[in-house]
Structure 1
Amino acid sequence: MGRGNSVSTAVRTEARALRGAGLVVALAVLVLTCLLSLWIGSRDIPFTDTLSVLLSDDGSVESLIIRDHRLPRTIIGVLVGASLGLAGALMQSLTRNPLADPGLLGVQFGASAAVVVGIAFLGIGSITGYLWLGLLGAAAASVVVYVLGAAGSGAASPDRLVLAGAAISAVLLAFVSAVLLLYPMSFMSFRFWNVGSIAGRQMDVVLRIAPVMLAGILLTLGLTRSLNILALGEETGSALGANVGRIRLLGGIAVTLLCGAATAAAGPIGFIGLTVPHAARALGGSDHRWVLPYSMVLAPILLVGADILGRVIARPGEVEVGIVTAVLGAPVFIALVRRRKLAQL
């Protein structure tokens, strides 16, 4: 019996070591991806010059390009990617639906509706304006979905939340389409935001979204133990002392903060929150102590990598990152479904 316990402990220790090593490798890949993002663009800048500009601002054109354009773009890509990855993992855990993504609770459509209202009726055309409108719309949509999901007898169950989210998303999508048809002049401004892009964002956008995303990240990581308990089932979780309603409420707030800020800053970017959590579970298992960190690292690798690819394939122009992630994400998700049969939640 003692020998069996020691073998089991050794196996668990080895598994933790492998997962930790994998996470370190993923972090190294993320750093490399960020360096490539700073280096690659429409203007060719030697890699050594890129590194020297990062260390000291010499006032050159290269310094202006890297520090004022590529650096904020890369930081926003990392923040948006990490937020969408965490939001996707959290959504799939809360709803126990392997096909859930941050748009499931109407968060992205709420942000879209608020932005199109700002463009069409308030004359707002700045990225900063889109940020606050999108965050407000995402929060409002999440509250409405939760209220509808909790209406009637019983608590807000995953099925009710999914149905309420689908209904609100359909209504908001129809509203956005109607406004764009009635006010065609607002279409061009909305189209650029709606396609999903991290280009043209300055450091002030980073400073505005970072506190919101940090709050969402800390709240999500604080739910790690609760998510592991909830994965055992609602009845078992309740028996172990978990407050299921409170966990879902806090999770919904975290998703709103993460996805709302990400969507407001970069527009609706699909497939990141859908595919990355499955890859995270394939590498880290079902324990959320590993799923969440892996999702937070793998998602920005995918997003920033897709942004780099968009710059390369259409030089000297570029393809917006939202288009690239859609093209890359669909076959990757299909491959995950076929190979892993959707990792168990």
Structure 2
Amino acid sequence: MPLFVIGIAGLALCAALSLALGARSVPLSTVADALFGDGHGRDAIAVTGLRLPRTVVGLAVGAALGVAGAVAQGITRNALASPTTLGINAGAGFAVVTAIYVFQLTRPVEYLWFAFAGAAGAALFAQALARRAGDIDPVRLALGGTVLQLVLLSWTSAVMLASKRTLDEARFWLAGSLSGRTLDVLWPVLPMIVIGLVAALAISPALNALALGDDSAQALGVPVARIRLAGGLAVVLLAGSAVAVAGPVAFIGLAAPHLIRPLLGGDHRLLVPGCLIAGPLLLLAADVLGRLVVRPSELEVGIVTAFLGAPLLALLARKVAR
């Protein structure tokens, strides 16, 4: 479809800008030489050693968050659902801060499995709160995730206030960042991202039936409980992996589906692949913007997405209320 071609072209442009722009701008010709092994010097080292891993991590994290948001909204039938509102980000943050406090961790690669475990634990707890008569109530799931998020954020703040060292170590990760992320951080969770993406694409036709309501979906022969469980697991794999790598980046999972729906409609067979493109496009664009607005310093990408996403959330809340 033409829109997918345009989206891929836009994503390629964002990736090229991510390689070229930063504290020191590098000409695109130098970027191309560095990628194909013909470049030498400081600029080439900056491209291949720092910006290329950062861009690859941004592509993977953005894709995971975008698709996780689409699936979360599909299984909950809630337009405001996302990894943030389901408590997944807060669970990962609480686990990482606690691990830093208890085990004296100092490197992002050491946070990975604590973050993933915290995200999974929060998602399972939110689903337990949402169970009613053996089934998961979508409204209770969204409300339970929101309450859990608030509780975990409070506990996280308490732990950080109790230890200045923990505050110093955790604050940049909690802001959500691609800075300093190497492929060594991505490789351990990449298989889980791939599994989550495959699962999300596989259940996308069934998500269309869920949008009609549980009774209608069951009448069409869709195993509602299994699809919702599979969707929940996909969200945990995708969002947990993304948060483990880059920290709790907000609003990408919420914004990507709402950006794609007016263009491709509500068919999840198109929506999920669309978010696979829109998620990394939004994340890389926010990361590049964060490098430019206070150059030669930079804003963490999580701060940029939060700043841009807050008005979006307010508009969406008004739209849903209407």
Q: Shared fold (TM-score greater than 0.5)?
A: yes
Aligned 8 A contact 1:282 1:343 in 2: no
1:280 aligns with 2:257: no
Comparing 154-163 with 134-143, greater Cα deviation is found at 154-163
Shift of 1:57: 5.7
Aligned 8 A contact 1:278 1:342 in 2: no
Among 269, 283, 289, the residue aligned to 1:303: 283
SS at 2:250's partner residue?
Answer: coil
Aligned 8 A contact 2:80 2:317 in 1: no
For structure 1, the residue ranges without an aligned partner over 5 or more in a row are: 1-19
Among 86, 107, 115, the residue aligned to 2:67: 86
- Deviation digits for residues 147-191 of structure 1, max 9, x if unmatched? 2322x5241110221232223223212221221122222101110
Aligned 8 A contact 1:119 1:190 in 2: yes
Alignment of 1:106-255 (within 5 A): 106-150=87-131, 153-255=133-235
Letter in 2 for 1:168: L
Shift of 1:40: 0.7
SS at 1:31's partner residue?
Answer: helix
- Residue 256 of structure 1 aligns with which residue? 236
SS at 2:135's partner residue?
Answer: coil
SS at 1:200's partner residue?
Answer: coil
Distance 1:276 1:252 in 2: 18
Aligned 8 A contact 2:11 2:280 in 1: yes
- Deviation digits for residues 191-224 of structure 1, max 9, x if unmatched? 0100111010112122223212111111111111
- Deviation digits for residues 320-340 of structure 1, max 9, x if unmatched? 1111111222334555677xx
- Deviation digits for residues 246-274 of structure 1, max 9, x if unmatched? 11111111111111111111111111111
Among 9, 26, 30, the residue aligned to 2:11: 30
Letter in 2 for 1:127: P
Distance 2:321 2:53 in 1: 35
TM-score (norm 1): 0.89
From the CA coordinates, give the structure whose radius of gyration is larger: 1
Letter in 2 for 1:133: F
- Residue 105 of structure 1 aligns with which residue? 86
Letter in 2 for 1:236: S
Shift of 1:62: 2.1
Aligned 8 A contact 1:111 1:135 in 2: yes
Structure 2 CA distance for partners of 1:119 and 1:257, relative to 1, 3 Å: same
TM-score (norm 2): 0.95
For structure 2, the residue ranges without an aligned partner over 5 or more in a row are: none
Comparing 191-200 with 169-178, greater Cα deviation is found at 169-178
Quote the sequence identity (%): 43
Among 61, 66, 71, the residue aligned to 2:47: 66
Comparing 156-165 with 318-327, greater Cα deviation is found at 156-165
Shift of 1:125: 1.5
- Residue 54 of structure 1 aligns with which residue? 35
Letter in 1 for 2:78: N
- Deviation digits for residues 284-315 of structure 1, max 9, x if unmatched? 00101111111111121111011111111111
Letter in 2 for 1:92: Q
Letter in 2 for 1:128: V
- Residue 319 of structure 1 aligns with which residue? 299
Distance 2:97 2:53 in 1: 25
Aligned 8 A contact 2:70 2:257 in 1: yes
